[in-house]
Amino acid sequence: MNDTALPRIGFMGLGIMGAPMAGHLQAAGHPLTIANRSRGPRVQALLDAGARWADSPAALAAESDIVITILGFPQDVEQVWLGADGLLAGARPGTVLVDMTTSSPRLAMRLAEDAAQKGCAALDAPVSGGEPGARNAALSIMAGGEADAFARALPVFQRMGKAIRHMGGPGKGQHTKMANQITIASTVMGVAEGLSYARRAGLDGEAVVAALAPGAAGSFQLTSLGPKMLAGDFAPGFMVKHFLKDLGIAVAEAEAMGLALPGLGQARRLFERVAEELGGEAGTQAVFSAYQGG
């Protein structure tokens, strides 16, 4: 396909996940314009491969047919999208703007409303799969927003992920991601507890993972993070500080619904302890450390 037939992509947020995601789009032939707070090696690699640099979110949006952001926190999303020099200030009518940050469902609904007032469309499309999923173009993408906008963005999503679903209107992608994070929270605690028990019982941890993985206890958390827990490898695939952000959003949304989720509350307390003891940039598998004393 000729490059000119592909939508021009603007991408902002070129961190541990965003950089490989943008790289897949660039490799597929999409004209790529990028913006980021810093210009480290990940950014430079994209520029060296032909990406254009934008000095502001507004300039990024002005050059793009589809804009993608994957940022750290909801306040970052709000600033980048709605600031005086933000995406919506520069976006042309007809632009599709996609936020792939795990963020607030209520903010996603606000962004969709503000985008519609500019003649644009907004999708909330958070992802699951962490750095390996981003690197291998194997992310799970859960999108909320108007069906027509999702249809326009779908070929772009297919360059970055394998399991892609339209979950409903604005905010529904973020609500789906909250369900994902709540599920992970208790699952990763269960893996840490099971392997802590196995270690205390004098079992070979790697043999335990191999024995459990094919059975009912098998999970991504067990097979991917279990060996790292046992090895004391807490390097991040997904940082504790970002997971705590997600859990905070989930707690607030559950409370607003009048829904009690005790496992979520316990996970949040444990990860807060990990952040205090090991720092927020440890990987989520570092929750294993909370079970190793006493």
- DSSP per-residue letters across 75-88: HHHHHHHHSTTSHH
pTM value is 0.92
Task: Supply the residues annotated as catalytic.
Answer: 177
For domain 176-291, say whether CATH 3.40.50.1220 is its number. no
pLDDT of the chain, 294 residues: tens digit per residue:
334 589 999 999 999 899 999 999 999 999 999 999 988 999 999 999 999 999 999 999 999 999 999 999 999 999 999 999 999 999 999 999 999 999 999 999 999 999 999 999 999 999 998 888 999 999 999 999 999 999 999 999 999 999 999 999 999 999 999 999 999 999 999 999 999 999 999 999 999 999 999 999 999 999 999 999 999 999 988 899 999 999 999 999 999 999 999 999 999 999 999 999 999 999 999 999 999 875
Say which amino acid occupies 134: A
> How many alpha carbons fall within 13 Å on the CB side of residue 106?
8
Helix (H, G, I), strand (E, B), or coil: what is residue 146?
coil
Q: Return d(Cα 76, Cα 73) in angstroms, integer.
A: 5
**How far apart are the C-alpha atoms of 166 and 123, rounded to whole Å?**
10
> What are the structural domain ranges in the chain?
3-170, 176-291
Q: Is CATH 3.20.19.10 the right assignment for the domain spanning 3-170? A: no
Asked if the domains 3-170 and 176-291 are classified in one and the same CATH topology, the answer is no
